[in-house]
């Protein structure tokens, strides 16, 4: 809780994964992938409850072992490839409301962001409360600057971003940021009224690139392992 506001962390983790089988519980430096998100959420000064929403009994078992709550098994309908995270969150909130367990903010933590730390989560919560905003999204500087990118049509190049500064040195180019998928925070009011985590008034929370690694392909596992091992030696 912060400033009288109750906060719940929801970690969505379905069992099916085409790119990396059993992705959410693959071993990463000796721990299941989802354990990193559960452990950091549990360390938060502000989060009142940490819930994993899953359709998998194996993920449920792993999540419980690392301290999360799994009060229900997600329906098959909300566990397909086409299921949206916002619907998963609404499903969870409605189930909790049936037991009169109400919250002001939802922190959505994707289990595929193992480098995200408790300090990031708490700083993001402090920021959204300080700004009295309805939503916040974590971002990091883009790995590639779109000013340097071109589309190609009929052997001709076309700019993606129209900028007269394209002749500047790389260090002098303006910065661009992308969603890193690590932290989404929205008021329950906005989740119900807009069925979205992000709108035109969403505020950014900037994270560094290392903590922004998202496990999507096998190569991402290698990169995450490298930074996790380096972190343990610092």
Go through the domains of the chain in sequence order and give each one's CATH number: 7-141+177-233 (3.90.550.10)
Q: Which two tokens stand for residue 147?
A: 């000013």
pLDDT score of 83? 86
Q: Decide the pairing of beta strands 156-159 and 49-53.
A: unpaired
Mind listing the pLDDT tens digit of every residue in the chain (234 residues)?
Answer: 999 999 999 999 998 777 788 999 999 999 999 999 999 999 999 999 999 999 999 999 999 999 999 999 999 888 888 889 999 999 999 999 999 999 999 999 999 999 999 999 999 999 999 999 999 999 999 888 777 778 899 888 887 777 665 555 666 677 889 999 999 999 999 999 999 999 999 999 999 999 999 999 999 999 999 999 988 664
Which residues neighbour 26 within 8 Å (Cβ) at sequence distance 6 or greater?
20, 32, 33, 221
Q: Decide the pairing of beta strands 31-32 and 27-28.
A: antiparallel
pTM: 0.91
Contact call for residues 182 and 216 (beta carbons, < 8 A): no
Phi-psi domain of 154 (left: phi exceeds 0; alpha: psi -120 through 50; beta: other)? left
d(CA 19, CA 65): 25
User: Which of 208, 44, 49, 51 shows the shortest CA–CA distance to 126?
Assistant: 44
Contact call for residues 137 and 184 (beta carbons, < 8 A): yes
């Amino acid at each position: 809780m912060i400033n009288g506001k109750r906060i719940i962390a929801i970690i969505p983790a379905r069992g099916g994964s085409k790119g990396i089988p059993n992705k959410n519980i693959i071993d990463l430096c000796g721990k299941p992938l989802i354990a990193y998100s559960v452990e950091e959420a549990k360390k938060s000064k502000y989060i009142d409850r940490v819930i994993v929403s899953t359709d998998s009994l194996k993920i449920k078992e792993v999540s419980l072992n690392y301290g999360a709550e799994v009060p229900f098994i997600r329906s098959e309908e909300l566990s397909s490839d086409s299921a949206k995270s916002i619907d998963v969150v609404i499903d969870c909130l409605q189930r909790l409301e049936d037991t009169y367990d109400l919250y002001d903010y939802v922190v959505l933590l994707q289990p595929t962001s193992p480098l995200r730390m408790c300090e990031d989560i708490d700083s993001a919560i402090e920021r959204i409360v300080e700004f009295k905003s309805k939503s916040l999204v974590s971002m990091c500087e883009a790995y590639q600057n779109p000013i340097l990118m071109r589309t190609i049509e009929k052997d001709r190049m076309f700019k993606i971003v129209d900028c007269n500064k394209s002749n500047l040195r790389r260090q002098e180019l303006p910065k661009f940021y992308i969603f890193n998928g690590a932290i989404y925070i929205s008021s329950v009011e906005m989740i119900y009224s807009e069925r979205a985590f992000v709108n035109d008034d969403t505020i950014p929370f900037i994270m560094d690139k290392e903590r922004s690694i998202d496990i999507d392909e096998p190569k991402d596992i290698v990169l995450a392992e490298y930074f996790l091992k380096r972190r343990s030696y610092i």
